[in-house]
Structure 1
């Protein structure tokens, strides 16, 4: 049975690659422009927004600064989720830095032996979210043309993540503590100078951003493919693009001729789910820690629907 599933998956994967190749050959101009748009998006938004955080978070982890930095926030975050200091830092950074930094930091903390794999996977499942900067600029201002919507959208998405974190902690990750025989922290003076560590953090951050750029360009072409194939099916096209890639999905939603309420809920779904593109980006960040991407996909779907529920409550009783 497993062999059959593998064969079917391999067949579908090869067919998809062949179809993608034919699209590149049949629509070279459109493919080039889509790749160029993805490159510009990566260069103008992703690099300045994420590269500094990728480097700084790496420095915090390698020099064990996260333990001290999160001390101020541990009473709040630790009380809600019952985490270590390092875990509290991961939650804080994941909520503030944006996709896929939450997943990367959880992975790096596990690889650096500052978190158990169990606690790292738990954090990875719920603290990998859109950043406040993205919500303000791309959602509130660009999509809704109303920056006053930033706060309710941010609170809804934050409340959704907290809800998921509490549910996972109570029912699925009841024990996160290290076995005392298992925890072995790396020594900072094991023949590695601070300059070598700093250089390693910079190169790791650059490698992270390059991976994100490649996925952004790839999915920009896939989105263009969907646009061309489904050009006469606007609503279906918008739904698929929103499922594939968050930023393009939000842009399409803003042009739909539907009510504000539908726009609002659709955007919440896109941002909380993140899109298949973000899932692939996240997978590339956690391959060293071997976190379960099946669990992650299930949790992201749950997150999307809970955010819609909170959105409905907001529209009904507050908006």
Structure 2
């Protein structure tokens, strides 16, 4: 009872302080809101929407069930999740946060995952997409395309480490479903196709209805994501101006010194715990730190994902019985694993592809990759807002039509 009252007091005091900060500093709040809105409007919405819609269609048509049967011999021994987890893992890496959580929740609602399997799966299928790692962080912040190779390798290897570690989670509470011996003799492709067909028959929605549901569900999720991005962008700004970030950073500076990292990285590190974009940007601006030290902190920030992304995931998981706590603990594990992998692969990977070594010649790889990722970012910033507006208009039309049909 006392613990519950204390929690109520802390939460109410925190919200009151945040509201007061918004009133005292309206200019800084507006600036942070616009920054978060720009990121969602230009990059997040147009880059995630196609993946979300296609994923919903693939689930509805039974393709994910088909892939799940085929990947069962791989995913089950490695990560102790069904083969459908391979699809979630691939889509999570390709589209970025929080696609893994959305697809895991969707499969849990479809009863293709048990509760324990869903908690394992969501812990390692949420990751940064290559566009953010190469385009925004490496080229945009560090102006170093080669660094993206190290960050991407560390991030995705760290993801695998988390998946292998989480395979031991909940094994005492899990009910093992063993297949009947006769089922093992069945032709594998035929079994997968049968599962695809049965899933499509079970979901008897017409193609138009299925597409409409995919669009509305995807846009509703992206609207929620946009709200969290703006909220945490403002929150991060307020904490900085209230000197709370600086106060917390002073405590972390001794920890960074213990790991032989410059204490100037403490404020970027704390900022990154709240929001990965700002944390990565501030880390790239610390001139007192070596590039390796900057890469270590950035890898941890990318692996931890920031409270902003974690809040998005928590909101998605709240629609199911999947617990958030295992995902939260896995983020610390992912951050630590990514930082360690960065240290291990720095010399063999970065120094091999870097143009800072013995020769002054710049490899074609660095030029080409930097140009490609810069072009993608430029394309999104140019056409992303238009795609966002058109998608929102389509959503309004579909939603209005459905509400009108319900009222009739």
Q: TM-score, normalised by structure 1?
A: 0.89
Question: Which of the pair has more CA radius of gyration?
Answer: 2
Deviation at 1:116, TM superposition (A): 2.0
- Could you tell me which residue of structure 1 aligns to residue 19 of structure 2? 21
- Could you tell me which residue of structure 2 aligns to residue 240 of structure 1? 270
Q: Write out per-residue CA displacement over residues 129-157 of structure 1, whole angstroms, 9 at most, x where no aligned residue.
A: 11111111122212321112222221211
Q: Write out per-residue CA displacement over residues 10-56 of structure 1, whole angstroms, 9 at most, x where no aligned residue.
A: 11111111111111111111111211111111000111111111111
Match of 2:40 among 42, 49, 52: 42
CA contact (8 A) 2:119 2:322 kept: yes
Deviation at 1:58, TM superposition (A): 1.2
- Could you tell me which residue of structure 1 aligns to residue 57 of structure 2? 59
Provide the C-alpha distance between the structure 2 equivalents of 1:124 and 1:308, rounded to a whole number of angstroms: 21
Provide the C-alpha distance between the structure 1 equivalents of 2:85 and 2:12, rounded to a whole number of angstroms: 40
Range with greater deviation from structure 2 (27-36 or 79-88): 79-88
Q: Does 1:292 align with 2:323?
A: yes
- Could you tell me which residue of structure 1 aligns to residue 9 of structure 2? 11
Match of 1:279 among 283, 293, 310: 310
CA contact (8 A) 2:314 2:324 kept: yes
Matches within 5 A, 1:160-239: 160-170=158-168, 172-173=170-171, 188=201, 192-230=205-243, 233=246, 235-239=265-269
Deviation at 1:79, TM superposition (A): 5.4
CA contact (8 A) 2:120 2:169 kept: no
Provide the C-alpha distance between the structure 1 equivalents of 2:297 and 2:335, rounded to a whole number of angstroms: 10
Deviation at 1:229, TM superposition (A): 2.4
Provide the C-alpha distance between the structure 1 equivalents of 2:200 and 2:318, rounded to a whole number of angstroms: 24
Distance 1:264 1:190, change over 3 A: closer
Provide the C-alpha distance between the structure 2 equivalents of 1:218 and 1:295, rounded to a whole number of angstroms: 24
Q: Does 1:314 align with 2:345?
A: yes
Distance 1:21 1:159, change over 3 A: same
Provide the C-alpha distance between the structure 2 equivalents of 1:137 and 1:98, rounded to a whole number of angstroms: 13
Range with greater deviation from structure 2 (294-303 or 209-218): 294-303
Q: Does 1:111 align with 2:105?
A: no
Q: TM-score, normalised by structure 2?
A: 0.71
- Could you tell me which residue of structure 1 aligns to residue 259 of structure 2? none
Count of matched residue positions in the alignment of Structure 1 and Structure 2: 314
Provide the C-alpha distance between the structure 2 equivalents of 1:158 and 1:147, rounded to a whole number of angstroms: 17
Q: Write out per-residue CA displacement over residues 274-296 of structure 1, whole angstroms, 9 at most, x where no aligned residue.
A: 00111101111111222221221
Provide the C-alpha distance between the structure 2 equivalents of 1:272 and 1:108, rounded to a whole number of angstroms: 23
Q: Does 1:137 align with 2:150?
A: no
- Could you tell me which residue of structure 2 aligns to residue 251 of structure 1? 281
SS at match of 2:216: helix
Distance 1:294 1:261, change over 3 A: same
CA contact (8 A) 1:80 1:166 kept: yes
- Could you tell me which residue of structure 1 aligns to residue 152 of structure 2? 154
CA contact (8 A) 1:140 1:150 kept: yes
Q: Write out per-residue CA displacement over residues 144-177 of structure 1, whole angstroms, 9 at most, x where no aligned residue.
A: 2111222222121111111111122146448575
CA contact (8 A) 1:54 1:208 kept: no
Range with greater deviation from structure 2 (166-175 or 131-140): 166-175
Q: Write out per-residue CA displacement over residues 32-90 of structure 1, whole angstroms, 9 at most, x where no aligned residue.
A: 12111111110001111111111111111122111334677666555533543312211
Deviation at 1:8, TM superposition (A): 1.3
